[in-house]
């Protein structure tokens, strides 16, 4: 099973402030949708709360150590390994791990692919972070730059990384 992280992070690795995204970047939301549609999305309880509803057309899996109430159809697992084992048993071709910071930190050592939107700004007051990528472990295989415009307050670059063999 291919394990993929999909994340947007500032130059100083901020991904969230007070359980919200630090920016509104419509083209990044489209990119996120394109990369995750029809695939299972695995996330921490706080990220699910910040979304406020299940992502449509995707199996939503939430991690929590408590027995939180979730909408019908959303799966709850008490550990990352349990959730991944369930998906492997179901012969899932790919899972997208979509945050937040706590889940990314645990998943980074075991994923094979990362779609990182690098948002070209320094964010102050961040409360959730993407871990520093160990450069010797990851190869940048594709990137595409997007300039700031009337709908996007910052420049950003879509990047695809593969774990080095
Ligand atoms: N920029 C991006 O790409 C992006 C993506 C996603 C989220 N975000 C932002 O990130 C922030 C949320 O991230 P966060 O780090 O605060 O929280 P999080 O990772 O979304 O959720 C943390 C919670 O998930 C549960 N959890 C995590 N790992 C677990 C494990 N191995 N086993 C069982 N449960 C586990 C725990 O829930 P319990 O406390 O219930 O046990 C933990 O408190 C928000 O600001 C959000 O907007 C940004």
144 lines ligand 1 (CB under 6 A): no
50 lines ligand 1 (CB under 6 A): yes
- pTM, two decimals, is 0.98
Residue 25: what pLDDT?
98
CATH (domain of 120)? 3.40.430.10
Domain that holds residue 137: 2-163
Q: What is the pLDDT of residues 71-118, one digit of tens each?
A: 999 999 999 999 999 999 999 999 999 999 999 999 999 999 999 999
Report, as ranges of residue numbers, the positions in the chain whose pLDDT lies below 50. Answer: none
Q: How far is the CA of 150 from the centre of ligand 1 (A)?
A: 31
- Nearest residue by C-alpha to atom 40 in ligand 1: 64
Strands (DSSP E) contained in the chain are 2-10, 14-16, 41-44, 60-63, 75-77, 94-97, 113-119, 128-129, 138-146, 156-163
Residue 165: what pLDDT?
87
- Nearest residue by C-alpha to atom 37 in ligand 1: 64
Instruction: Give the number of domains in the chain.
Output: 1
């Amino acid at each position: 099973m291919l394990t993929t992280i999909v994340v947007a992070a500032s130059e100083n690795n901020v991904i969230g402030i007070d359980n919200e995204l630090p920016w509104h970047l419509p083209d990044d939301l489209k990119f996120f949708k394109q990369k995750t549609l029809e695939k299972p999305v695995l996330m921490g309880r706080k990220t699910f709360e910040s979304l406020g509803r299940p992502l449509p057309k995707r199996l939503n899996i939430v991690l929590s150590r408590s027995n939180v109430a979730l909408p019908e159809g959303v799966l709850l697992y008490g550990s990352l390994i349990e959730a991944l084992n369930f998906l492997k048993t179901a012969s899932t071709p790919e899972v997208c791990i979509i945050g937040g910071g706590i889940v990314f930190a645990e998943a980074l050592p075991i994923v094979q692919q990362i779609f990182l939107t690098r948002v070209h700004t320094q964010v102050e007051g961040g409360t959730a972070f993407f871990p520093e990528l160990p450069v010797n472990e990851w190869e940048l295989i594709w990137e595409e730059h997007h300039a700031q415009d009337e709908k996007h307050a910052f420049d950003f670059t879509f990047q695809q990384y593969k774990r080095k063999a």
